[in-house]
Structure 1
Amino acid sequence: MYIRQIYRRNVLRNDRLAGQLEEAVVAMNGQGVTPVLLKGAATLATAPVERRGVRLMSDLDVMVMPDETERAVAALRAIGYEIHDQAPPESRRWYVELNRSRDVGTIDLQRSAPGPAYLYRGPGDALNHCVPPLLGRGSVYIPTPTYQALILIVHDQFQDHGYWLGDLDLRHLVELRDLNNSVGGLDWKELTSHVSGKLMKNAVETQLLALAELFGVEIPHSLRSRLIPRLQFMRQLMQARFPATRVPFLAMTILDLRNYRREAINHTQTSARRRRLWSMPRGDTLQFLLRAATAVRAGKV
């Protein structure tokens, strides 16, 4: 009875979010902006009505092109939104969080997909991997199921630091399963074609291994058989069962930081610089990881 009541309330909440999303899209369309819906916003726009209450959401992730940001913000402010938070000027990642007192969720406006930009250099422009359906009275772009899967994996593993912390995001694993069950399913060959570098390969295969082992999704053997992803998945299970192991297992993070630095720096540094990539993480990096490893994070195990 309790679970049913939560579900009914979430259906009502997500119905309101869907109306809020359509209103925001129409406003941006009026300024010549066609936004890309990410993560939960994409799910909300494409899920059958009977599945609308499955996902718990607190915001709507919307992406616009860099030259559209001012018009998008102006369009949303014109219908009553106020800026609640935004990226500091020195931030590498631009975002604006907008809200209205009458709404049940905020709008998280972005101009790039989640996670480090270099991880998307393989796929190219996001619009090349989107379809342009209608959303009620508005027009949007929605990533294909395979590109949505890529975005979810990069978000969990890198923007939310799941790869370094050994976290499992069960909500997004459910979404990956549902994407695979959608019409056409996930194209494993296309997904792996987007993977560039050892670090990203390890992270993607770790997520796919969890999807196979915990949700029974049929994943090609070649994508769930390598040693490092299997060790990482074993770490995730151990930490979920025995939370006290989270801090000792942080040592595994240091082992893959070299791959991270190599792949992030290779595009900006000289070859002489590349040969000196290995060093211990900075003290502030270790402190951040330690705080994150011991914090209680909603939806993470």
Structure 2
Amino acid sequence: MSVVGLANQTLTTPWLIDVVDKFTSMVPDDVCACVRDIYRRNVRRNDRLFAQLEEAVAAMNDRGVTPVLLKGAATLATTPYGRRGVRLMADLDVMVRPEETERAVAALTAIGYEIPDRSRSAGQRWYVELNRSCDVGAIDLQRSAPGPACFYRDFGHAPDHCRLAQLGRGTAYIPTPTFQALMLIIHDQFQDYGYWLGDIDLRHLVELRDLNYSAGGIDWAELTSQVSGKLMRNALESQLLALAELLGVDVPLSLRSRFIPRLQFVRRLMQARFPVTRVPLLAITVLDLGNYRREAAIEYASKRSHGSWSMPSADTLQFLLGKAVGVRAGKV
């Protein structure tokens, strides 16, 4: 029951179908029935999401827009039908070029989508959420990859790391497994603040494992060669260390042996086992504060010196403390 409870907490329950099918005689009947029912329901839900994605891509193509599918949308488009039900998905993440955003929004509203939410200020990351009452998930339209732009500056344009794929009567860009891995890591570690908070997103670790075993797999040399800055290197290796230690993925030893990533991994395990340690272990964030400030200064061309060490601001500490003690879906 602890395994099922952890799977429910981390949104990985459908992946237990592999255990249930392989070890049916060793798993209690009620657990088998529960996992199979959840898996069947998720297959039906993801089938509807796939049909929704095909329709949306075709509508944008009709307006001259070829979108890039991100995260779950990319996984949905490339996963064999027999494996489509293992991933729980909340929405469809789609990226378009800045000059294509108005056409993309017009294409989607023309087929019935409404806009319940969108970015409000010029300094905020641009996004538009679109949904319809007949669908099981929203479309999250973006014009940049997830997370701070400074972490992608050596990768160039996203379509350069994608292939064109047919979806029904439409076409979309699908990122390579290596680029998908980079986006998942940046999303977890920085957009979701996992690196600062010491969270483990097991669902995304399982996705990284599956990406590595997919056709082409993750090119470790390419992944690391495109990473610039000490902060991103520490975050990347922290995630790869967790991938190797928790899921047995054969990550090169050179990418899981440095001190700060190993310290972060120990911290993550400690917090998962003993949640009361989450607040005191926030102190570990200061190890990379100087790296963050230097790299943010490069990104925003700030003239202010960020090289010297100092404590985080009171607002930053309050924000991180609130996240550390709050309940975050899918995180441990």
Per the shorter chain, which TM-score range? over 0.9
Which secondary structure does the structure 2 equivalent of 1:60 belong to? strand
Post-superposition shift, 1:194? 1.4
Aligned to 2:142: 110
Letter in 2 for 1:293: A
Post-superposition shift, 1:91? 3.2
In structure 2, what is the Cα distance between the partners aligned to 1:125 and 1:78? 29
Identity %: 73
Aligned to 2:200: 168
Aligned to 1:157: 189
Q: Which consecutive aligned stretches of 4+ in structure 1 deviate over 4 angstroms post-superposition?
A: none
Aligned to 2:252: 220
In structure 2, what is the Cα distance between the partners aligned to 1:167 and 1:286? 17
Aligned to 1:33: 65
Aligned to 1:144: 176
Aligned to 2:238: 206
In structure 2, what is the Cα distance between the partners aligned to 1:275 and 1:20? 46
Q: Does 1:179 align with 2:211?
A: yes
The answer on whether the counterparts of 2:297 and 2:306 sit within 8 Å (CA) in structure 1 is no
Aligned to 2:81: 49
Q: Does 249-258 or 103-112 show the bigger shift?
A: 249-258
In structure 2, what is the Cα distance between the partners aligned to 1:203 and 1:233? 10
Aligned to 2:13: none
In structure 2, what is the Cα distance between the partners aligned to 1:227 and 1:179? 26
CA distances 1:12-68 after superposition (whole Å, capped 9, x unpaired): 000000000000001100100000000000000000001100000010000000000
CA distances 1:198-236 after superposition (whole Å, capped 9, x unpaired): 000000000000000000000101000000000000000
Aligned to 1:296: 327
Aligned to 2:7: none
In structure 1, what is the Cα distance between the partners aligned to 2:95 and 2:246? 31
Aligned to 1:24: 56
Letter in 2 for 1:128: D
Letter in 2 for 1:84: P
Which secondary structure does the structure 2 equivalent of 1:52 belong to? helix
TM-score by length of 1: 0.97
In structure 1, what is the Cα distance between the partners aligned to 2:302 and 2:64? 38
2:313 paired residue among 253, 276, 282: 282
| Aligned length in residues | 299
CA RMSD of aligned residues (A): 1.0
1:236 paired residue among 243, 262, 268: 268
Q: Does 1:59 align with 2:81?
A: no
In structure 1, what is the Cα distance between the partners aligned to 2:187 and 2:302? 26
In structure 2, what is the Cα distance between the partners aligned to 1:90 and 1:277? 30
TM-score by length of 2: 0.88
The answer on whether the counterparts of 2:209 and 2:249 sit within 8 Å (CA) in structure 1 is yes
In structure 2, what is the Cα distance between the partners aligned to 1:116 and 1:78? 31
Letter in 1 for 2:289: L
Q: Does 275-284 or 290-299 show the bigger shift?
A: 275-284
Letter in 2 for 1:145: P
1:126-137 equivalences in 2 (<5 Å):
126-137=158-169
Aligned to 2:119: 87
Which secondary structure does the structure 2 equivalent of 1:10 belong to? helix
Post-superposition shift, 1:275? 5.6
In structure 2, what is the Cα distance between the partners aligned to 1:84 and 1:275? 38
Post-superposition shift, 1:279? 2.3
Q: Does 1:69 align with 2:101?
A: yes
In structure 1, what is the Cα distance between the partners aligned to 2:166 and 2:82? 19
Post-superposition shift, 1:257? 1.2
In structure 2, what is the Cα distance between the partners aligned to 1:257 and 1:249? 14
Which secondary structure does the structure 1 equivalent of 2:116 belong to? strand
The answer on whether the counterparts of 2:290 and 2:307 sit within 8 Å (CA) in structure 1 is no
Which secondary structure does the structure 1 equivalent of 2:87 belong to? coil
Post-superposition shift, 1:193? 1.1
Aligned to 1:269: 302
Letter in 1 for 2:330: G
Which secondary structure does the structure 2 equivalent of 1:132 belong to? strand
In structure 1, what is the Cα distance between the partners aligned to 2:122 and 2:102? 18
In structure 2, what is the Cα distance between the partners aligned to 1:45 and 1:91? 32
The answer on whether the counterparts of 2:290 and 2:306 sit within 8 Å (CA) in structure 1 is no
Q: 5+ unaligned residues in a row in structure 1: which ranges?
A: none
Q: Does 1:192 align with 2:202?
A: no
Letter in 2 for 1:295: G
Post-superposition shift, 1:255? 2.2
In structure 2, what is the Cα distance between the partners aligned to 1:139 and 1:276? 46
